[in-house]
Structure 1
Amino acid sequence: MWVVKIGGSLSHDPALREWLTQLWEVGGGRVVIVPGGAEFADTVRQYQLEWGFDDLAAHNMCLLAMAQYAILMQGVLPELVLASSEENIRKALRDGRVAVWVPTGLMRVTPDSTTNWDTTSDSLAAMLSTTLNAERLMVVKSCAVDTCASLETLAANGVVDARFAGYVKDANYVVELFNKDDVGLVRDRLFNVPVV
């Protein structure tokens, strides 16, 4: 199973449709898509600045932002299956489908280590990969990605969130970052990996 996190920065990019289509065509039964927060999360930041509410409220609102992007993805490609729990994700995969994670189960009533702006959808994708015992986590960004740079450097440059490197430090899955133009490369990898 592969987790593919698609950045919110692709939400207005024609590449989004291509990514979703390619993942659906060759990733059925093997791929879980994690949506970024897109402009929905940017709006949360604006409201937090305006109203001064705490990071717990912002965290919960950002999970809903990710849910909106997930619904947008399914709207673009209705064959995708929205899944809000591990059980639903695994059922979608068993049915040979591609799941899109709706992370509303991570909403909190009290703060914890994830309820801050250092932990974004990048780190949540890593956490989900661990939970699902994924083989691979692929993070798709619209910006250029220096594949030779350390994750710490990428975090310092704002390519991934500040906590991402810590979440994947001891991961038992492969972590790769891709630019939005690498869809053909990812398709080829999926196409050439046998279904287990």
Structure 2
Amino acid sequence: MKKRHLAGTAGLLLLALWTTACSTSSNNATESRYSNSSSKKVKDAASGSNDKGFVGNRYTTNNGSISIDKITNVKVNDQYRNLKNFTMVILEGTFTNKSSKPVSPKEWALYNLEVNQVLSNSERELVPGSDEADNGTKWEELLRNGDSKVLPGKTIKFAIEYDLDYKTAKVTEDYSIQARNTEDNSPLGSPYKLKAGMDNFTYHDTSYEDASSN
């Protein structure tokens, strides 16, 4: 019985160590943008810098070119998931893949651009939020394009959605988009500055309709 107990204890210890190692590995993989082969492929397709930064509303490197067409603050009425209205920011643009590998506009933008709200005394960097492509917004096709892998030499219009936390984030009219060096993240040239338009969207839950039709 004692030997069986010791063996069982050892087994549990090994299981705990294995689980911890897997968890640590998973966390490290999440934190590192270049920790797996798919991320490396994205980096290879998105990397490249232009010391001039933006020229007008366009930023171009040897691997791609992106034009910022417009940015919109969208007030969302979503009573099903959030009793308080919140605002999402929709960035629209045009992307050309000049690399030899497929890459999405969102991936390329994440590696090359920093999108900031301009506040009264500071700037706040935004990151892409929950994808609203399936919720019937008028940006549905553009949001899907933002996640689509663009073939080498092809150009596509796209949109990327950013969420603002209604508890902490202020809705601002001014935005600043900074080109970044993909090797050391240093800023390149002057940022492209633009003012946001305004729009509204009411989330329509169709799940009950889908259920009733079955």
Name the structure with the higher strand share: 2
Bigger relative contact order, structure 1 or 2 (CA pairs below 8 A, ≥6 apart)? 1
Q: Could you state the TM-score of these two structures normalised by the residue count of structure 2?
A: 0.27
Q: Could you state the TM-score of these two structures normalised by the residue count of structure 1?
A: 0.29
